[in-house]
Structures are given as C-alpha cells and as structure tokens.
C-alpha cells in the first residue's frame, strides 16, 4: 500500500458545465493564467494561441469525422493540483460530454448573467445532480447588462432544483457594474476593466463600514441599492453549509466577468477550498478510499482515430485510487488480463505528454488495442476491484439506418457494433424483429455524420439514415414486473429493445411519457440506463 496522501489530497478534479457562449473557454483561460500555465507577459497572445490551438484540434477532428476530444488541462495553483475536464459544447455535444462528468469530483457551472439557465446547462446539470457532486456557480458577464440578481438565483433554484448561497453579490451590471460585495468579509471589491486579460484586473477592497469612501467609489444610488439588497439577501438566502455543498444540494454562487478577469481569482480560491479531494468510488458495494488503496481506475471514454496514420484508439481513464506507475503491470478486470498500459499519456488540447506516474484524481489516456469498453476497471493484478458501470444517457435523436449495398451486411454489422462499443452511438432494434432493422440513437446530431463518415471510411459501407421523430427514450426500471405486450402507451409511442434485449420506449414528447405512466400504474421509467 502506498502513501501518496499528499499528492492525492492536493488534487481537485472538476468539469466546467455551461451553455455555449456563456464564457467557459474564457474562464478556463483565466484559471490557467493564475496557474501560470499561460505566460503572463504574453497573456493576450497566450489567450489567442491557446484558443487557436484548441480550435485547430477541433477542426482536425471534424475533418476526420470523429467527435471532439474532451481534453484535460492540469495546472498547479496555491498548493493544489487542478484537473479541468472540458465538456464540448455546440453541435459537438455528445454522450462523451455526459461521461466526462462521471470522471469529475465537482462541477463549475458558468451562467451568462443576461441569459440565465439555458438548455445545455440544464442537461449537464441533471447528470451532476444524479451523481450528487458539488456544483459551484459562476455568473459571468457582469460587465454587460444582466438580469436581476434575485431573479437569476430564483431561476437556478426553480429550474435546477438546487438551493443557492451567494458568496458575493454584484453591484450593478453593464456600464453600471461597480464590483462585488463579499458577504464573508463584509467588504466590497471594486471593479475596473482597465487590465483586460491580465492578472491584475482586481482592485480595491473597501469595508462596508467605511461608508463614506464606499459611497464615493460606487455612488450613492448603488450604495443604497446594495444596502437594501444585503438586507433582503440575509433574510432570504440559504445559510452556507459545506456539507450541503458537498452533497450537491446547495450551490455557492459567485459573480464576475471572465473577460475582464474580475471575480475569477476570488472564485478560484473559494472554490478550491470548498471542493472535495478525489472522491471515493464504489466497487462491488464497498467504498474504496483513494488514498488507502493501490492503483485502480475506470474507463470513461474511448476515442477512436486519434491518430489517422495508426487508426488507433485511446481509452481515457479516471484514476480512482493510489498511484499509477507506468512500469508496473495492471489487471484489466473485464478482460481478465494482466498487462502494462501502453503509452500512458496526459492529453491536453493539442499535445500529448507521455506520463510515467499519475495519482488518484488524474485522467490518463492509454493506447487501446480494442480491448476496453466504457465503464471497465483496471487495478493491480492481485486486487479485487470492479467499479460500477457508467450509465447510458438518453439519446435525443433517432434514425433508422440501412446499408445501401445489401451485400455488405457483415461489414455493416461489424462497424456499427464497433462504433457503438466505443460509445459514440447507441443501437436498438425494433421490439419484434431481428437485426435487420437498426435504430440508432445519439445525444448530439453530429454523431449521425460521424457514424456515416466512419462507416464509409473505415468499413467501406455506405448507409442511409432515415430520421425518426422521437425525442425521448425511457428505460423500464422494473422490467421484470412489466408485461410489455400489455403495456398501454400513446399512439406515438414505439417499443424497441437494446442489444441485450432490454425493452425501451420511444416518445415524441414528454406529454406522452406522462400519459403512459398514468395509464400503466406501477410502471417505472428512467432517463438513465445501466450498461
Ligand atoms: P464558451 O466557451 O462558453 O462557448 O464561451 P467563450 O468563453 O468562448 O465566450 C463566448 C463569448 O463571450 C466570447 O466572445 C467571449 O469573449 C465573451 N465573454 C466571455 N466572458 C465574458 C465576460 O465576462 N464579459 C463579456 N462581455 N464577454 C464575455 P466572442 O466575441 O464570441 O469571442 P472572441 O472574439 O471574444 O474570442
């Protein structure tokens, strides 16, 4: 048993969730600035280069027709070792985005202050909620006209079902943005946007007790509004409770402007203090402590074709316990094989670094000769570890798929199964027929193009996709108790099955789901399936 407590306990592994354009990239860049990962002197250039690198990588990936990598950024700050997991947005949104959340111990939710809670945030939040991990909220773009602060908080509480606890409070917004009031120290951090992109954006701290000076700086009107709001806030908001935060029931809320680098360091400092060290994971019903146990990890993502020349696959693993030593042999539990992990690497946006060691909390990518599946466990040869699988997330787009040349049935089946095994798509069948009718479900529509492209380029099979109108899929939780033949659904409901024969239901809208539940007492439907 190793003693890696110090290395492990300084790790904080989190994902950033947001709707596209809320400012995730900008905030990440500012974090990196504090971590020294981007050179301060060249910060403006650094920002451009960093973004350039990321988008280049994405372009390449798109050209190849494969989904965009969720990259991992690691940096050190204030004695912490921080892993940020990227969750791709826009049309790159796929099941991988959800799976990345399975590898994180906490999440940072970035919200655009003028937009409030948006669709993609809502979806990602659901997965965080399912796991009960801590969620930290950064309300961004306060330098632009923002929605009413109380309304924003109310929206988070109502829409997402999590209590909010503002750690600081904005004073105005847009042109009238004057800074934030820090509740703990009862002081105001004043805003100036003169140093865009640099570390020194933050400025004066003035105590609330120093009313005259504060009024002079922020103006009498803002001062009076602030005093009123503080009074209201103290009466209305939830008490700060770290246990509740760690259970994902209460989200600490911060306000700022990533672009002008205001409020970012305050957020980072507080967040790091409140976020958990690598969380223990459950193996065979036991909770395995990350520090007390030898190396173990689980696969949360498989990426094919990272390197076109080699047609390789990379399995991404989250280390759950102990220290990973590249020279040691490990056991792939599901495959029953002892091996050395090949070319272990840390994958950043556009560069890969070969690793010799890593610790619980870290993410590594290893060369996969086609043996790993999502959810697989890797541990020391003598250990008896097997982590719970990763849930299957509900696809939202469906299509019937047929190969154009019927002679190519074999390649088609092989290809589509392989791609499903990597987790890029989910495949289903009509409930009453065999394999001839295949229905593909995806979380993001781009995956349809990926499927078409990959089947053509890798398996030489041309396919036709016929879109289906369904948007909702539900797993039947109590399938043993339900006679599917007798199930009374709505006219637009479709019964299908997965490759293991588990029954599933497709619906066009959520109203039909409600109707079906009403008509079949005792039926339990779920948005998440188990592998
Ligand atoms: P994302 O990763 O969540 O998709 O968002 P990203 O950081 O790329 O930000 C989206 C746009 O919002 C960018 O503008 C960015 O500069 C801007 N932005 C981010 N944070 C703030 C903020 O605090 N205040 C203001 N006013 N704008 C912010 P863009 O014009 O799309 O890109 P760019 O040309 O600036 O790179």
What tokens were used for 500? 């293991």
Residue ID of nearest Cα to ligand 1 atom 4 = 21
Residue ID of nearest Cα to ligand 1 atom 16 = 259
How far apart are the CA of 192 and the centre of ligand 1, in A? 18
Q: What is the mean pLDDT of residues 424-443?
A: 83
Would you list the DSSP string of 294-335? Answer: --EEEEEEEEE-SSTTTT-EEEEEEEEESEEETTS-EEETTT
Q: What is the mean pLDDT of residues 92-103?
A: 84
Q: Which residue out of 21, 28, 179 has the highest number of ligand 1 atoms within 8 Å of its CB and is therefore the one to mutate?
A: 21
21 touches ligand 1 (CB under 6 Å): yes
Q: What is the pLDDT of residue 356?
A: 82
Residue ID of nearest Cα to ligand 1 atom 34 = 48
| Per-residue pLDDT at 194 exceeds 60 | no
Q: Which residues, including other chains, have CB under 8 Å from residue 519's CB and lie 6 or more apart?
A: 488, 489
- 59 — pLDDT class (breaks 50, 70, 90): very low
Q: Give the atom of ligand 1 at the shortest distance from the alpha carbon of 256.
A: 23
- 89 — pLDDT class (breaks 50, 70, 90): low
Q: Give the atom of ligand 1 at the shortest distance from the alpha carbon of 19.
A: 3
Burial 450-461 (b: 16+ CB within 10 A, else e): bbbebbeebbeb
Least confident piece of the model among 173-177, 242-246, 399-403, 498-502: 498-502
Compare 252 and 407 and report the one with higher pLDDT. 252
Q: Which residue out of 15, 16, 18, 26 has the highest number of ligand 1 atoms within 8 Å of its CB and is therefore the one to mutate?
A: 26
Least confident piece of the model among 230-234, 308-312, 371-375, 459-463: 308-312
Q: What is the pLDDT of residue 63?
A: 43
How far apart are the CA of 121 and the centre of ligand 1, in A? 16
- 486 — pLDDT class (breaks 50, 70, 90): confident
Q: What is the pLDDT of residue 149?
A: 97
- 39 — pLDDT class (breaks 50, 70, 90): very low
Q: In a 3-state reduction of DSSP, which class is residue 473?
A: strand
Picking from 387, 405, 404, 455, the residue whose alpha carbon sits closest to that of residue 427 is 455
- 246 — pLDDT class (breaks 50, 70, 90): very high
| Per-residue pLDDT at 55 exceeds 90 | no
| Per-residue pLDDT at 229 exceeds 90 | yes
23 touches ligand 1 (CB under 6 Å): yes
Alpha helices in 380-445 (DSSP H): 409-421
Residue ID of nearest Cα to ligand 1 atom 31 = 21
CA distances from 480 to 151, 334, 499, 503, 522 (A): 45, 26, 17, 10, 12
20 touches ligand 1 (CB under 6 Å): yes
| Per-residue pLDDT at 349 exceeds 60 | no
Average pLDDT taken over every residue of the chain:
85
Compare 48 and 354 and report the one with higher pLDDT. 354
> How many Å apart are CA 126 and CA 245, to the nearest integer?
16
Compare 239 and 12 and report the one with higher pLDDT. 12
| Per-residue pLDDT at 231 exceeds 90 | yes
Unique residue bearing structure tokens 């004057």 = 178
223 touches ligand 1 (CB under 6 Å): no
How far apart are the CA of 296 and the centre of ligand 1, in A? 38
> How many Å apart are CA 244 and CA 490, to the nearest integer?
40
Picking from 453, 455, 456, 410, the residue whose alpha carbon sits closest to that of residue 435 is 410
Distance of CA 246 to the CA centre of its chain: 17
Q: What is the pLDDT of residue 450?
A: 82
> How many Å apart are CA 53 and CA 160, to the nearest integer?
34
pLDDT digits (tens, 9 = 90+) for 277-336: 999 999 999 999 999 999 999 999 887 765 544 556 788 899 999 999 988 999 999 999
- Looking at the DSSP assignment, which residues form a beta bridge with residue 451? none
173 touches ligand 1 (CB under 6 Å): no
| DSSP annotation of 480 | G
How far apart are the CA of 465 and the centre of ligand 1, in A? 36
Q: What is the mean pLDDT of residues 415-429?
A: 87
> How many Å apart are CA 428 and CA 398, to the nearest integer?
10
Residue ID of nearest Cα to ligand 1 atom 9 = 23
Which range scores top for mean pLDDT: 39-53, 208-222, 362-376, 416-430?
A: 208-222
| Per-residue pLDDT at 162 exceeds 80 | yes
Q: What is the pLDDT of residue 351?
A: 56
- 514 — pLDDT class (breaks 50, 70, 90): very high
Q: What is the pLDDT of residue 203?
A: 67
25 touches ligand 1 (CB under 6 Å): yes
373 touches ligand 1 (CB under 6 Å): no
Q: Which residue out of 16, 108, 259 has the highest number of ligand 1 atoms within 8 Å of its CB and is therefore the one to mutate?
A: 259
Compare 292 and 88 and report the one with higher pLDDT. 292
Q: At what angle do helices 24-34 and 264-274 cross, to 10 degrees?
A: 80
Least confident piece of the model among 100-114, 115-129, 343-357, 435-449: 343-357
Q: What is the pLDDT of residue 48?
A: 37
Q: What is the pLDDT of residue 73?
A: 80
29 touches ligand 1 (CB under 6 Å): no
142 neighbors 256 (Cβ within 8 angstroms): yes
> How many Å apart are CA 240 and CA 252, to the nearest integer?
8
Compare 245 and 28 and report the one with higher pLDDT. 245
How far apart are the CA of 26 and the centre of ligand 1, in A? 6
140 touches ligand 1 (CB under 6 Å): yes
Q: What is the pLDDT of residue 57?
A: 36
Compare 103 and 435 and report the one with higher pLDDT. 103
Q: What is the pLDDT of residue 34?
A: 83
Q: What is the pLDDT of residue 79?
A: 93
Q: What is the pLDDT of residue 3?
A: 60
488 neighbors 520 (Cβ within 8 angstroms): yes
Q: Give the atom of ligand 1 at the shortest distance from the alpha carbon of 260.
A: 23
Q: What is the pLDDT of residue 314?
A: 81
What tokens were used for 429? 């069948």
How far apart are the CA of 107 and the centre of ligand 1, in A? 20
133: left (phi over 0), alpha (psi -120 to 50) or beta: beta
259 touches ligand 1 (CB under 6 Å): yes
18 touches ligand 1 (CB under 6 Å): yes
- 421 — pLDDT class (breaks 50, 70, 90): confident
| Per-residue pLDDT at 67 exceeds 60 | no
């Amino acid at each position: 048993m190793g003693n890696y407590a110090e290395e492990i306990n300084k790790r904080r592994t989190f994902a950033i969730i947001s709707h596209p354009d809320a400012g995730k990239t900008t905030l990440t860049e500012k974090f990196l600035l504090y971590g020294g990962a981007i050179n301060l002197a060249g910060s403006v250039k650094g920002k451009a280069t960093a973004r350039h690198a990321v988008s280049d990588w994405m372009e390449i990936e798109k050209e190849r027709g494969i989904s965009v990598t969720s990259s991992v950024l690691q940096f050190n700050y204030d004695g912490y070792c921080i892993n940020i997991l990227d969750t791709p947005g826009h049309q790159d949104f796929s099941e991988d985005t959800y799976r990345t959340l399975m590898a994180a111990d906490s999440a940072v939710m970035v919200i655009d202050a003028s937009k409030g809670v948006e669709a993609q945030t809502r979806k990602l939040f659901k997965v965080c909620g399912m796991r009960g991990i801590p969620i930290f909220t950064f309300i961004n773009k306060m330098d632009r006209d923002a929605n009413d602060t109380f309304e924003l908080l109310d929206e988070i509480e109502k829409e997402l079902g999590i209590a909010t606890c503002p750690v600081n409070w904005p004073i105005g917004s847009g042109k009238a943005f004057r800074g934030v009031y820090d509740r703990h120290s009862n002081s105001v951090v004043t805003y100036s946007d003169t140093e865009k992109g640099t570390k020194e954006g933050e400025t004066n701290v003035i105590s609330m007790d120093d009313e005259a000076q504060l009024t002079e700086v922020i103006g009498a009107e803002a001062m009076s509004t602030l005093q009123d709001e503080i009074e209201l806030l103290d009466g209305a908001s939830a008490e700060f409770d770290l246990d509740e935060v760690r259970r994902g029931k209460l989200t600490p809320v911060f306000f700022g402007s990533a672009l002008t680098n205001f409020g970012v360091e305050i957020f980072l400092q507080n967040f790091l203090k409140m976020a958990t060290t690598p969380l223990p994971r459950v193996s065979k019903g036991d909770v395995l402590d990350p520090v007390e146990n030898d190396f173990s990890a689980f696969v949360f993502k498989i990426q094919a074709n990272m390197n076109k020349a080699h047609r390789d696959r990379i399995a991404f693993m989250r280390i759950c316990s102990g220290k990973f030593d590249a020279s040691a042999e490990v056991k792939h539990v599901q495959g029953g094989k002892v091996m050395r992990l090949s070319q272990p690497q840390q994958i950043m946006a556009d560069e890969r670094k070969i690793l010799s060691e890593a610790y619980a909390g870290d993410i590594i990518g290893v060369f996969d000769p086609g043996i790993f599946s999502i959810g697989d466990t890797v541990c020391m040869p003598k250990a008896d570890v097997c982590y719970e699988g990763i849930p299957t997330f509900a696809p939202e787009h469906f299509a019937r798929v047929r190969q154009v040349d019927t002679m190519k049935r074999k390649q088609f089946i092989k290809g589509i199964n392989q791609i499903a095994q990597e987790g890029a798509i989910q495949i289903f069948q009509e409930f009453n027929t065999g394999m001839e009718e295949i229905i593909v479900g995806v979380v993001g529509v781009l995956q349809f193009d990926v499927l078409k492209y990959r089947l053509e380029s890798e398996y030489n099979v041309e396919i036709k996709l016929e879109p289906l109108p369904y948007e909702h899929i539900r797993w039947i939780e109590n399938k043993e108790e339900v006679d599917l033949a007798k199930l009374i659904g709505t006219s637009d409901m479709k019964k299908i099955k997965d490759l293991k024969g588990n029954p599933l239901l497709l619906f066009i809208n959520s109203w039909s789901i409600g109707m079906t539940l009403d008509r079949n007492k005792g039926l339990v439907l779920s948005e998440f399936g188990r592998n």
